[in-house]
Amino acid sequence: MFENEKTWARFTENNSIDEFHKKFDNAIDHVRKDFGKNYPMIIGGKEIFSSNQFQVRSPADKNLVLANFPLATKDDTLHAIETAKESFYKWSLVPYQKRVQIFREIADIFSHDKFSLAAILSFENGKNRLEAMGDLDESIDFMRFYAEQLDLNEGFSKETKSASPNEKTKSVLKPYGVWGIISPFNFPSAIAIGMTSGALITGNTAILKPSSDAPLSGFKFVESIYHKLPPAAINFVTGAGSVVGKTILESNMVDGIAFTGSKEVGMTGYTAFEASRPRPFISEMGGKNPAIVSASSDIDKAADGVMRAAFGFSGQKCSACSRVYVQKSIAPKFLEKLVAKTRALKIGKPWERDAYIGPVINDAAVKKFQHASEIAKKDGKILCGGSLVLDDSHKDGNFVMPTIVANLPQDHELIREELFLPFLCIEEFDNFDEALVLANKSNYGLTAGVFSQDNAEVEKFFEKIEAGVTYANRAASATTGAMVGAQPFVGWKDSGISGKGAGGAYYLLQFLREQTQTRCA
């Protein structure tokens, strides 16, 4: 029976928090020894190094060169696609029980090595210890959950009603072929592994193109699994999206795409991919996620939930809370608590024990933050934050202050547009129906939360909110923290295309197509 990994929760339940941090400290020392190494692409079952490389530096300290990866060419990418195509039938005919076994073995390896893998994440994309371990836990959960789903459904093959007495018929779900997997920087282990596992475990072959800001975690997965598969069943191709991603999206030999990233990139890719023929395109494309705080709410719980959802991993989650609608009668008290909690957050190197706020991912994100802050100062009121962190201990990283803004005009660009930053906009409302209208007044529909002790309001929220992942009175986080197997992660409206959630019972079906088989006597 599938169980979530829940590393931090298990250490907490066992009163072993110091042991958790000791293991993390040891892992940090261990992974530092590999900084600056050259890493390969993996194409056709072979590790391919190149002198034409790009450096991966830590966003928390840009003096730290973590790794050097090849800059793949168009020919490298085409070679990966061609070899994946050649490998498809061999892998697709491997019994599903064997595929399940392989993924359970890799999940066990990741569980054994989780502290080292999480420490890599802290350096690679700036997640604090708990966020990094959560990313690893989710990676493990995806592999085990999808293995269980394939097992429970017996490979998605079942007998159907016979049309006549001399016929026997069954429905079989079969893989499409080659899948391009385009993954983001913010969950370089969990999302990369989740999407790639969905394709591979169902019998497809895959080309994984990781974010160039955070390719090391994806490499660790492919390195662990590729030798257990037929050559070229999985390929790992690093480099520019304008080369690798573009080549994958424009190839007629690619049979499906799984993508996580911005709406702009996702829709451009979708349009290009569907231009020649209809093919599956699974996407999750961000959000502008609201939380509603009613006058009946527990204000402390609401302030905690909003703060954690807005500023966990510096707001760089598709599910991060970026809009709050608070009822006018409690707005001053709620904002006082929220601002106080936000100002108390520890900004620091993410691998340090007590750090909560780490860096944003790159220079472009810093510039975007500065631009948003300038607009907020001009058009609204900054309640806290709005500036860079430039003291001696942070000057070599991409550190910005968690920022809360009020008094913006309705429909302002900061309220409409996804920023992917620790940037929270506050609006006030008179009645609950108005709050729902404001919350739904977005092209996005990924996550949403409500804080209310009025059951009628909570029911109305669930009935009318236009989002795929919804929460009520969740102090742990108003809009983030979906758990594999419990809360399928699915976007509505411009937040997604397929309408089926990662970590849910319907996810694997997207990588398969139905074939009816009839045998006559």
DSSP letter, residue 366: H
> Any idea what the Cα angle at residue 30 is, between residues 63 and 481, rounded to 5°?
80
What span, in angstroms and rounded, lies between the C-alpha atoms of 159 and 150?
Answer: 17
Strands of the 46-48 sheet, one edge to the other? 46-48, 41-43, 234-236, 205-209, 178-182, 256-260, 281-284
What span, in angstroms and rounded, lies between the C-alpha atoms of 308 and 422?
Answer: 11
Tokens representing 208?
Answer: 């994984």
Q: Are the C-beta atoms of 211 and 361 separated by less than 8 Å?
A: no
Tokens representing 479?
Answer: 């809009």
116's CB contacts (< 8 A; 6+ apart) are 27, 30, 31
What span, in angstroms and rounded, lies between the C-alpha atoms of 467 and 407?
Answer: 25
Tell me which residues are annotated as active site.
Answer: 284, 318
Tokens representing 16?
Answer: 């072993």
C-alpha separations of 100 from 67, 107, 145, 180, 385 in Å: 32, 11, 10, 21, 48
End-to-end CA distance of the chain: 40
User: In degrees to the nearest 10, what's the CA dihedral of 231, 214, 175, 152?
Assistant: 110
H-type alpha helices, 153-210: 190-201
Q: Spell out the SS3 assignment of 384-450.
A: ECCCECCCCCCCCCCCECCEEEECCCCCCHHHHCCCCCCEEEEEEECCHHHHHHHHHCCCEECEEEE
DSSP letter, residue 346: P
Q: Which residues does residue 69 pair with via DSSP β-bridges, in sequence order? A: 54
What span, in angstroms and rounded, lies between the C-alpha atoms of 301 and 490?
Answer: 25
Q: Are the C-beta atoms of 167 and 519 separated by less than 8 Å?
A: yes
